Structure formats: C-alpha cells, structure tokens
C-alpha cells in the first residue's frame, strides 16, 4: 500500500511539473479529471485495518488468559479434592486403628498372632472335617468291597451248587447221589431241597430213620416247604407211624395241592391203604 501511495505522489508531482511546463509554454489551463485526495482514503483504510488487527490480537490474548485462569482453577480444585480425600482416608485409618487399640489389639504382633491362631483353628477344623469324611468314605468303600466279595462268593457258590444239582440229576447211582447232596450241604447246610432229596435217596437205600431225621431238619429250616412234609410222611409210613404219616400228607397237600395226584402212585404209602383217614384223602382226590 505504501508503494501505491508513493507511486500516486510521484504521478501527481509529474503531472504538476508537466502542467507548469505547459503553462510556461502555453497559457491554456487543462481541467482535472481525477480527484487529488485518493491517497488519503487509502491511508485511512490502512489505519482501520491496522486497528482491527490490534484489537483481534488483544482479544486473543485476553481469551488465552481467561482459559489459562480456568485451567488453573480446575487444577486447584482437583488438587484440593485429592488433598481432602487423602486426609479423610488417613482420618479413617487413624480412627480404625484407635478402635482396634481400644478393643485390645495393642500391636501388629498381637494382630498377627490372632490372625495366625484364627487361621490355625479354621485349618484344624477343616482338616478334622475332611478326615472324618475320608474315614466315612473309606468305611463305605470297605463295606461296599465286602458286599461285592460276598456277592461274588455267593455267585460262585450258586454256580457250584447248580453244577452239583445237574450232576445229581444225571447220576444213576444212589450212593453217588448221596455224595453229591452232601457236597451241596457242605456249601449250604440249610438247603431244604438237598436235605429232602437226600432223604428220598436214603429211603431207596433202606435208611428210613436217617431219611426221617433229614426230613425233620428240612422242616425246621423251612416249615413252608411241602415236599419236606411229603418225604417225612413217606418215612413215617415205612416205620408204621400211620397217623403221623396221614397228618404230614394232609399238610403237604394243603401247601401244594398238586401233590394229590401223587397219592396213588407213591409206593411208600402202600401201608396206608387200609387207614380210613388216608382213604378219605384218596377218595376226596378221586371225587
């Protein structure tokens, strides 16, 4: 803008000099087509722009100062809040320590000892509980193991007895059958079936009294087994105990009605065919 002002001034000077020279040559005065005050307007505009720039810079400086003051105030408040919070925490800790001292916790050593004692007590309690649980588990395992062993032994005995019964059914020799029944009774002494069938074989061998004794044992072990009564009736009939035989036959038929069909086919009852009570049973069967 200064260059333009100088240029305008130089132009004005040259024009003036030209006019003076022209006036010296000719007396005629030429009219002025442009105003002579244009450079002054440009100067006024430049001054206004300068003033605006100064005001803008001042406003920026003022704004920066206010922002700095606001930030400083916020930092002040944060530091004051942190300080107050820290003081409150220390006051709480001091109060808690005072309460602990009043309750008897005199030192950190006492606190440590009490904590150790409490932990030891709880650990001992938990250890005792787990030991008791382990003992219970071991006891249950032992009982279960004993049950399994007993079941296995029972299964083994059952299989062995079943095999002996199969042999007894296939054996034709009475003496060998008695030996097989004795083996069954060694495994299971209270087997009423083995006692009854052994008594039946002994009847065939002429050992009537022995058969009667075995029948009595079978009835003692199981009073609801009908063949034991039937077999004892056979022995009693052979020994001439007719009334006792008829009584046992009646009990056997009551417990197993299917035995009525065997009354007429049993050779051991041949001595009872003249006994009225036996005939009554036989006639009732026929009817």
- Quote the percentage of the chain above a pLDDT of 90: 1
* pLDDT at residue 207 in the model: 87
Alpha-carbon dihedral angle through residues 268, 274, 277, 281, given to the nearest 10 degrees: 60
pLDDT band at 25 (very low <50, low <70, confident <90, very high): very low
| 244 and 212 Cβ atoms separated by less than 8 Å | no
pLDDT tens digits for range 110-149 = 767 777 788 888 888 888 888 888 888 888 888 888 888 8
Q: What gap in Å lies between CA 81 and CA 92, rounded to an integer?
A: 16
Q: What is the pLDDT of residue 286?
A: 43
Q: What is the rounded CA–CA span in Å between residue 247 and residue 252?
A: 9
Query: For 73, how many CA atoms within 13 A lie in the half-sphere containing its CB?
Result: 6
Least Cα distance to 194 among 243, 148, 146, 160 occurs for 160
Greater model confidence, 94 or 111:
94
Q: Higher model confidence: residue 161 or residue 108?
A: 161
Highest mean pLDDT among 164-168, 231-235, 265-269: 231-235
pLDDT attached to residue 68: 81
Answer yes or no: is pLDDT of 21 > 50.
no
* pLDDT higher at 179 or 48: 179
**Minimum mean pLDDT among 109-113, 150-154, 162-166, 184-188: which range?**
109-113
Q: Could you give the angle at the alpha carbon of 55 between the alpha carbons of 53 and 57, nearest 5°?
A: 70
pLDDT at 102: 63
More confident position, 96 or 13:
96
Residue 187, pLDDT above cutoff 80: yes
Given CA atoms 190, 194, 197, 202 in this order, what sign does their dihedral have?
negative
Whether residue 187 contacts residue 161, with contact meaning beta carbons closer than 8 Å, is answered with yes
Residue 285 to residue 264: CA distance in whole angstroms: 10
Alpha-carbon distance of 207 to 212, in angstroms, equals 9
For tokens 């009908």, name the residue.
226
Q: Taking the CB of residue 224, how many other CB atoms lie within 10 A of it? A: 9
Least confident of 93-97, 145-149, 209-213: 93-97
CA distances from 49 to 8, 63, 194 (A): 21, 21, 137
Answer yes or no: are the C-beta atoms of 184 and 164 closer than 8 Å.
Answer: yes
Q: What's the whole-number mean pLDDT along residues 232-257?
A: 88
Structure tokens at 18: 């030209």
User: What average pLDDT is seen over the chain?
Assistant: 77
pLDDT (mean) for 152-156:
79
Q: For tokens 């052979």, what's the residue?
A: 238
Phi/psi of residue 37, nearest 5 degrees? -110, 15
Distances (CA, A) of 210 to 56, 171, 203, 207, 243: 141, 21, 8, 5, 20
pLDDT of residue 33: 56
DSSP conformational letter for 28: P
């Amino acid at each position: 803008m200064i260059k333009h002002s100088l240029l305008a001034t130089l132009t004005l000077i040259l024009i003036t000099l030209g006019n003076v020279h022209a006036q010296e040559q000719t007396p005629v005065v030429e009219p002025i087509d442009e105003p002579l005050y244009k450079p002054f307007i440009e100067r006024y505009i430049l001054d206004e722009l300068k003033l605006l720039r100064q005001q803008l810079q001042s406003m920026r400086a003022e704004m920066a100062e206010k922002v700095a003051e606001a930030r400083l105030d916020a930092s002040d408040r944060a530091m004051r809040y942190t300080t107050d919070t820290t003081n409150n925490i220390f006051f709480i800790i001091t109060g808690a320590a005072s309460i602990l001292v009043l309750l008897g916790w005199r030192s950190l050593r006492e606190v440590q000892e009490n904590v150790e004692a409490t932990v030891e007590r709880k650990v001992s309690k938990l250890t005792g509980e787990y030991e008791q649980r382990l003992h219970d588990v071991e006891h249950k395992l032992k009982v279960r193991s004993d049950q399994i062993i007993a079941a296995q032994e029972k299964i083994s005995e059952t299989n062995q007895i079943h095999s002996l019964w199969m042999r007894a059914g296939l054996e034709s020799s009475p003496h060998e059958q008695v030996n097989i029944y004795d083996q069954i009774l060694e495994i299971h002494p209270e087997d009423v079936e083995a006692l009854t069938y052994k008594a039946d074989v002994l009847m065939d061998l002429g050992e009537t009294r022995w058969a009667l004794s075995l029948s009595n044992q079978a009835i003692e072990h199981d009073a609801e087994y009908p063949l034991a009564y039937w077999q004892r009736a056979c022995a009693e009939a052979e020994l001439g105990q007719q009334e006792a035989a008829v009584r046992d036959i009646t009990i056997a038929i009551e417990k197993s009605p299917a035995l009525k069909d065997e009354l007429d086919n049993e050779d051991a009852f041949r001595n009872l065919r003249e006994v009225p009570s036996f005939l009554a049973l036989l006639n009732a069967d026929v009817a």
